[in-house]
Amino acid sequence: MFSMKLQGGMPIHEQLRARITELIINGEMKEGEKLPAVREIAKQLTINPNTVQKTYAELERQGLIYSVPAKGSYVSPRAKYINKLNQQTSETFAEAVESALALGLSEEDLLKIVSEVSQKQR
Amino acid sequence: MFSMKLQGGMPIHEQLRARITELIINGEMKEGEKLPAVREIAKQLTINPNTVQKTYAELERQGLIYSVPAKGSYVSPRAKYINKLNQQTSETFAEAVESALALGLSEEDLLKIVSEVSQKQR
DNA sequence: CATTTGTATTAGTAGTATTAGTACATTATT
DNA sequence: AATAATGTACTAATACTACTAATACAAATG
């Protein structure tokens, strides 16, 4: 299922997240379907369960999956819809970044603003 | 001139940048006026010349000052104008960040997008 | 020619993200 | 009731990156 070769240069939990997202979007994993257990994937990829857990937590925060303790993790009913919304939001935000760069702000400036605004929201 | 007490929690080069920007905006440093030498400030604040250099480099990138090797660094003729533009751009960008967060993207997502788009521009 | 200027290169340090090891709590199964 | 399987939380080790410093270089001025 999760046949994938881990590469360097990108965190493992992120590679795994990209892979699972891909499976959901392509329809290879149906909505409502149960995902493999954390330890299952960890064993298969020879990585730590916590790394998989981090991936699941992020996917759940995104709304692509939901997890029930002692039961399992499942593909969210509206996974595709949410993913599409996220993609659109990402594209729009990327354009905002381009504009800001063109107007003279630096990458550091933008990173700082993102951090500050994010912190304020908590 | 640069009487300021360095505090923790914020990089030195950034504190210095904020201070100099303040001086320029408040009109305490006129446009065209010569800034103290890198080593001058370094000595006065008991920090490394390279840290001051980093501040100057950033201010020059912003367009607030310009440096001439073996001569000195000077306040840019349009410093105030540029600073105002940067502030406006920052505010607009901050709003874009708020929107993206509200639409479900995470701080990590946004930081990644900023990095990717910045890298693409080079 | 010596001094003053900005700049580049290298290295050490500290803070932070990533990953792993381990333990916990809850639910299903037998 | 007991065992196993699940997601989750906590701690520690490691890797990575930003910050700062030490030093050296290059050019202009007097």
| pLDDT tens digits for range B38-94 | 999 999 999 999 999 999 999 999 999 999 999 999 999 999 999 999 999 999 999
Tens of pLDDT, residue by residue over B8-45, are: 889 999 999 999 999 999 999 999 999 999 999 999 99
Give residue B3's pLDDT band: very low, low, confident or very high (50, 70, 90). confident
- Which of strand C's nucleotides are less than 7 A from any protein C-beta? 4-10, 17-23, 25-28
Assigned token pair, B67: 């440096």
Is the torsion defined by CA of B107, B111, B113, B114 positive or negative?
Answer: positive
> Cα dist. A58→A13, A51, B100 in Å?
9, 11, 16
CATH of domain A12-77: 1.10.10.10
Give residue B105's pLDDT band: very low, low, confident or very high (50, 70, 90). very high
Those residues of chain A that have pLDDT short of 50 are none
Assigned token pair, B72: 């000195």
Instruction: Give pairs for A41-50: CB < 8 Å, separation 24+.
Output: A41/A2, A41/A16, A44/A2, A45/A2, A45/A4, A45/A6, A45/A16, A47/A6, A47/A12
Q: Which amino acid is at B26?
A: N
Distance CA B48, CA B40 (A): 10
What is residue A8's predicted lDDT score, i.e. its pLDDT?
A: 81
Which of B85, B93, B95, B109 would best serve as a mutation to test chain A binding (most A beta carbons within 10 A)? B93
What is residue B6's predicted lDDT score, i.e. its pLDDT?
A: 87
> Cα dist. B118→A2, A111, B50, B82, B100 in Å?
32, 10, 25, 21, 18
What is residue B1's predicted lDDT score, i.e. its pLDDT?
A: 66
What is residue B38's predicted lDDT score, i.e. its pLDDT?
A: 97
Q: What are the residues with a C-beta under 7 Å from any atom of nucleic chain C?
A: A 11-14, 47-51, 54, 69-71; B 35, 37-40, 49-50, 53, 56-57, 60, 67-73
What is residue A17's predicted lDDT score, i.e. its pLDDT?
A: 96
What is residue A120's predicted lDDT score, i.e. its pLDDT?
A: 85
Q: Looking at CA atoms only, how far is residue A24 from chain B in angstroms?
A: 18
> Do the chains contact at A106 and B58, CB–CB below 8 Å?
yes
pTM exceeding the 0.85 threshold for the entire prediction: yes
What is residue B4's predicted lDDT score, i.e. its pLDDT?
A: 87
What is residue B80's predicted lDDT score, i.e. its pLDDT?
A: 97
What is residue B119's predicted lDDT score, i.e. its pLDDT?
A: 86
Assigned token pair, B5: 């007490």
What is residue A3's predicted lDDT score, i.e. its pLDDT?
A: 78
What is residue B7's predicted lDDT score, i.e. its pLDDT?
A: 85
What is residue A1's predicted lDDT score, i.e. its pLDDT?
A: 67
A68 close to A60: Cβ distance less than 8 angstroms: no
Assigned token pair, A4: 């994938």
Which of A93, A101, A105, A107 would best serve as a mutation to test chain B binding (most B beta carbons within 10 A)? A93
Question: For residue B111, what is the DSSP state?
Answer: H
